C-alpha cells in the first residue's frame, strides 16, 4: 500500500526566556556585583587565581552566572586575561552548558558521599582539551556531612589543573573546614534602580512598548533578584505581547496599586471606617490575596516611618522614586509616635491573619482598630494634662486650709446662691492656686518683643516640654499676642495637626505664660481659648470702669468642657464625681 506523503513537519523555534537570552557573558555585564567582578578580573589579569571559590548570596544575584564567566575566562583560547572572547569553542560550549572540561553539578540531587567520590575520581584526569578542569557545584550546602568530609582533602590540595567553584544561598550551612579552604565572595541583593535600568535596556532591544510605571511594578516584585524580575517580565510579555498596559502588569502579578495603599492610609488617618470597608470589599471581589495586601500595607507604614525619620533614599525605601512625593504627603498625616503605634498594631494583625478562618473579616476589624488607634493618645500624656487642668481646683482646697494659722480675713458677703466669694490670700508657701474666674479690667497690649508671627511661635514652641507638640507647633503659620491672649494661626495645616494643637492648648498656655512671665490664654484661630494657668484674665474683657465682681463657676463642669478631658472621657467612659472637700 503506497504511503501518503504528508509533507515536512514544521516545529516552531523554541522560545528562550529573557533570563537565559540576556544572561551576562563577561564580568562587565554583571549588574550590581562590581566588588566581585573587579576582584576576579584583577586576579585573572595578575595570575593570582585560587584553586577553590565559594560564591554565596541570595537567589538571582548572579552566582552561577559569575561562575560560568570565570570558567570561560580560565579556559578561553583567544581572549585577553579575564576577558573571554565568547567566540572560541571553549566559550561557546560553556555558554551552551556542554563543555567536557567544565562540569556543573547540582548538589541538591547529588548529596551523598558516593556522588562526591565519583567527582574525586574524575579530578585525577587531565582536561581533554582546555587548560583547566573546572567543577561548578551549585547549592553546595545540600551535601551531607559525610560528603563534605570526603571532599575536604581534595578541596585543599587539588591537582594544578583543577578549579572548584561552589555556589550557595545558605552560607551558614557550610562547614568551617570547607570555608577555610576557599576564597569567599559574598553576593548581595541588586538595587532597584539597577534592575530597572537593565529591564529598560532589554525592553528597548526587544522592541517592547512599556511605561516606566509598569516597569517599576515589575521591579518591585523582584525583591532584588534579577532573575525574578526577568521571570516576571516574561510573564507580562506572554500576556500583553509587545504592547504592555499598566493595568495588565497589576493584574498579572497580583499587585496592589500604590493609589489603593494611599487611600487606605488616608482613611485610617481620618478614621473613615466606611472607606476602609469599601476598599477591602473591592479587593476581595477582584480576587486579591488579602494576606499579600496586608504585607504590602505593612511595608507602606514602614516606608512612612522611614520618611518621617528624614530618610528619602529610594534604595532604602525599596520603592520607585516617582512614589516618594505621595508617600511624603501620607507621612505628614501622622506623628512619629502615631506611626510606631500603628506599625506595632499592624504586626499583630498580620500574625492573626495567618491563623484566621475569615481573613476578610479579620482584616476589616484590624484596619478599623488602626483607624481608632490613630486618634488615640498616650495614657501618660492624658493623665498629665488632666492633672494640670484639675490641679488648680485641688490647690484651691489646699489654700482654703493653710498649714499654719493665718490672720482671719473679714468675711465677704455671699452675693448669690452658688457664687463663691474670693478666698483670703494664701500663705506664701501655698502651692499654685486657681482662684474663681473673675472679670478683670483690660490690660495694655503686651509687647511681643518685635518678633515676627513665626518668631513668636518658635519661642513658645521651644518652651513646650513635648517633642511631638513642639513639631506640631512649628507646622502652624504663626502666632500673635493681643493683651494677655496668644492667637495661633493654623494656616493650611491638616485637620490632624489642628486636633493635636487643640487637645494641647493648656500646655501651650503654660509655655506662653513662662515666656511672658504672666498668665496667658491661648486660642487656635477663632476657636475657644485655653484657660490660663493659675489666677489670670478671663476670655471676656470687661470695661475698665466696671468693678471686679465674682461670677458663678462649677469647677467640675468647667474641667469636663476642656477638649483634653473630653478626649479622656471618650477613652475611659464613666461617671465623674466631685471630690468631697471635707
- Cell numbers 491672649 correspond to 485
Query: Which architecture characterizes domain 192-252 according to CATH?
Result: Orthogonal Bundle (1.10)
CATH topology of domain 19-186: Rossmann fold (3.40.50)
**Rounded distance between C-alpha atoms, residue 255 and residue 259, angstroms:** 12
Among 531, 509, 516, which Cα is nearest to 445's? 516
Where along the chain do the CATH 3.40.50.300 domains lie? 19-186
The alpha carbon torsion through 377, 378, 383, 385 (nearest 10 deg) reads -50
Among 417, 421, 449, which Cα is nearest to 436's? 421
Strand order in the sheet with 521-524: 478-482, 485-489, 521-524
The pLDDT of residue 56? 93
3-state SS class at 184 = strand
CATH number of 258-373: 1.20.272.10
Among 57, 53, 58, 354, which Cα is nearest to 69's? 53
Among 376, 350, 243, which Cα is nearest to 293's? 350
Q: By the 8 A CB rule, do 374 and 340 touch?
A: no
3-state SS class at 524 = strand
Where along the chain do the CATH 1.10.8.60 domains lie? 192-252
Q: By the 8 A CB rule, do 150 and 113 touch?
A: yes
pTM: 0.58
The pLDDT of residue 556? 64
Where along the chain do the CATH 1.20.272.10 domains lie? 258-373
Q: By the 8 A CB rule, do 490 and 477 touch?
A: yes
Q: By the 8 A CB rule, do 60 and 219 touch?
A: no
The pLDDT of residue 277? 92
Question: Hey, what long-range contacts does 207-211 have (CB within 8 A, 24 or more apart)?
Answer: 207/242, 208/237, 208/242, 208/243, 208/244, 209/242, 209/243, 209/244, 210/236, 210/244, 211/244, 211/246
CB atoms within 10 A of CB 155: 22
Among 149, 136, 160, 147, which Cα is nearest to 54's? 136
Task: Take residue 518 and report the three cell numbers written for it.
Answer: 504672666
Q: By the 8 A CB rule, do 327 and 353 touch?
A: no
The pLDDT of residue 349? 87
CA distances in angstroms from 278 to 1, 265, 285, 291, 300, listed in the order given: 73, 14, 11, 17, 19
CA distances in angstroms from 462 to 472, 478, 511, listed in the order given: 12, 14, 8
**Rounded distance between C-alpha atoms, residue 254 and residue 513, angstroms:** 57
**Rounded distance between C-alpha atoms, residue 478 and residue 452, angstroms:** 8
403-436 as b/e: b if 16+ CB within 10 A: eeeeeeeeeeeeeeeeebeeebebeeeeebbbbb
Rg of the chain (C-alpha set): 37
Question: Which backbone phi and psi does 55 adopt, to 5 degrees?
Answer: -105, 120
pLDDT in tens, the chain (582 residues): 444 444 444 445 577 888 888 999 999 999 989 999 999 999 999 989 999 999 999 999 999 999 999 999 999 988 788 889 888 999 999 988 889 999 998 888 888 888 888 888 888 889 888 899 999 999 999 999 999 998 998 888 888 899 999 999 999 999 999 999 999 999 998 988 889 999 999 999 999 999 888 888 888 888 889 999 999 999 999 888 889 888 888 878 877 778 888 999 999 988 888 999 999 998 888 778 888 888 888 888 888 988 888 877 766 777 777 788 888 899 888 888 888 888 888 888 888 888 888 888 988 898 888 888 766 666 666 677 666 666 544 444 444 444 444 444 444 444 444 444 444 444 443 333 333 333 333 333 333 445 667 778 888 888 887 777 777 787 788 888 888 888 888 877 777 777 888 888 888 888 888 888 888 888 887 665 555 555 444 333 333 333 333 334 456 666 666 666 666 676 666 666 655 544
Q: By the 8 A CB rule, do 232 and 38 touch?
A: no
Amino acid at each position: 500500500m503506497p504511503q501518503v506523503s504528508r509533507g515536512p513537519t514544521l516545529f516552531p523555534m523554541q522560545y528562550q526566556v529573557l533570563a537565559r537570552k540576556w544572561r551576562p557573558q563577561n564580568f562587565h555585564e554583571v549588574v550590581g556585583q562590581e566588588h566581585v567582578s573587579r576582584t576576579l578580573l584583577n586576579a585573572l589579569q595578575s595570575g593570582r587565581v585560587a584553586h577553590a571559590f565559594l560564591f554565596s548570596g541570595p537567589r538571582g544575584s548572579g552566582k552561577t552566572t559569575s561562575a560560568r564567566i570565570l570558567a570561560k575566562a580560565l579556559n578561553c583560547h583567544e581572549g585577553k586575561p579575564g576577558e573571554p572572547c565568547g567566540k572560541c569553542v571553549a566559550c561557546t560550549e560553556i555558554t551552551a552548558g556542554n563543555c567536557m572540561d567544565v562540569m556543573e553539578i547540582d548538589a541538591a540531587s547529588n548529596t551523598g558521599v558516593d556522588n562526591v567520590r565519583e567527582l574525586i575520581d574524575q579530578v585525577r584526569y587531565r582536561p581533554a582539551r582546555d587548560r583547566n578542569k573546572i567543577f561548578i557545584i551549585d547549592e553546595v550546602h545540600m551535601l551531607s556531612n559525610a560528603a563534605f568530609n570526603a571532599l575536604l582533602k581534595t578541596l585543599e590540595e587539588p591537582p594544578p589543573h583543577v578549579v572548584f567553584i561552589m555556589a550557595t544561598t545558605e552560607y551558614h550551612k557550610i562547614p568551617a573546614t570547607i570555608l577555610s579552604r576557599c576564597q569567599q565572595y559574598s553576593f548581595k541583593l541588586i538595587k532597584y534602580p539597577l534592575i530597572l535600568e537593565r529591564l529598560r535596556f532589554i525592553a528597548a532591544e526587544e522592541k517592547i512598548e512599556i511605561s516606566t510605571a509598569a516597569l517599576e511594578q515589575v521591579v518591585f516584585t523582584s525583591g532584588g533578584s534579577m532573575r525574578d524580575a526577568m521571570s516576571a517580565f516574561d510573564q507580562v510579555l506572554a500576556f500583553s505581547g509587545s504592547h504592555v498596559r499598566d493595568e495588565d502588569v497589576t493584574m498579572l502579578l497580583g499587585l496592589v496599586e500604590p493609589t489603593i495603599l494611599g487611600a487606605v492610609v488616608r482613611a485610617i488617618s481620618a478614621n473613615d471606617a466606611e472607606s476602609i470597608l469599601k476598599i477591602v470589599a473591592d479587593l476581595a471581589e477582584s480576587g486579591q490575596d488579602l494576606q499579600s495586601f496586608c504585607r504590602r500595607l505593612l511595608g507602606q507604614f514602614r516606608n512612612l516611618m522611614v520618611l518621617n525619620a528624614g530618610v528619602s533614599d529610594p534604595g532604602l525605601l525599596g520603592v520607585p522614586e516617582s512614589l516618594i512625593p505621595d508617600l511624603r504627603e501620607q507621612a505628614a498625616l501622622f506623628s512619629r509616635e502615631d506611626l510606631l503605634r500603628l506599625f506595632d498594631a499592624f504586626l499583630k494583625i498580620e500574625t492573626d491573619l495567618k491563623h484566621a478562618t475569615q481573613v476578610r473579616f479579620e482584616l476589616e476589624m484590624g484596619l478599623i482598630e488602626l483607624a481608632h488607634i490613630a486618634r488615640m493618645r498616650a495614657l501618660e500624656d492624658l493623665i498629665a494634662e488632666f492633672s494640670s487642668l484639675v490641679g488648680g481646683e485641688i490647690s484651691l482646697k489646699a489654700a482654703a486650709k493653710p498649714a499654719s494659722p493665718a490672720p482671719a480675713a473679714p468675711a465677704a458677703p455671699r452675693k448669690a446662691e452658688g457664687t463663691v466669694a474670693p478666698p483670703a490670700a494664701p500663705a506664701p508657701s501655698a502651692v499654685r492656686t486657681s482662684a474663681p474666674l473673675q472679670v478683670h479690667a483690660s490690660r495694655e497690649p503686651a509687647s511681643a518683643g518685635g518678633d515676627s508671627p513665626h518668631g513668636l511661635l518658635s519661642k513658645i514652641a521651644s518652651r513646650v516640654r513635648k517633642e511631638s507638640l513642639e513639631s506640631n507647633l512649628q507646622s502652624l503659620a504663626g502666632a500673635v499676642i493681643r493683651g494677655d491672649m496668644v492667637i495661633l494661626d493654623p494656616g493650611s495645616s491638616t485637620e490632624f495637626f489642628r486636633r493635636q494643637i487643640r487637645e494641647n492648648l493648656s500646655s501651650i498656655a503654660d509655655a506662653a505664660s513662662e515666656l511672658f512671665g504672666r498668665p496667658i490664654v491661648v486660642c487656635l484661630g477663632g476657636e475657644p481659648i485655653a484657660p490660663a494657668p493659675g489666677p489670670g484674665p478671663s476670655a471676656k474683657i470687661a470695661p475698665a470702669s466696671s468693678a471686679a465682681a465674682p461670677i458663678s463657676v462649677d469647677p467640675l463642669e468647667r474641667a469636663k468642657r476642656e477638649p483634653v478631658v473630653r478626649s479622656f472621657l471618650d477613652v475611659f467612659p464613666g461617671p465623674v464625681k466631685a471630690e468631697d472637700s471635707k
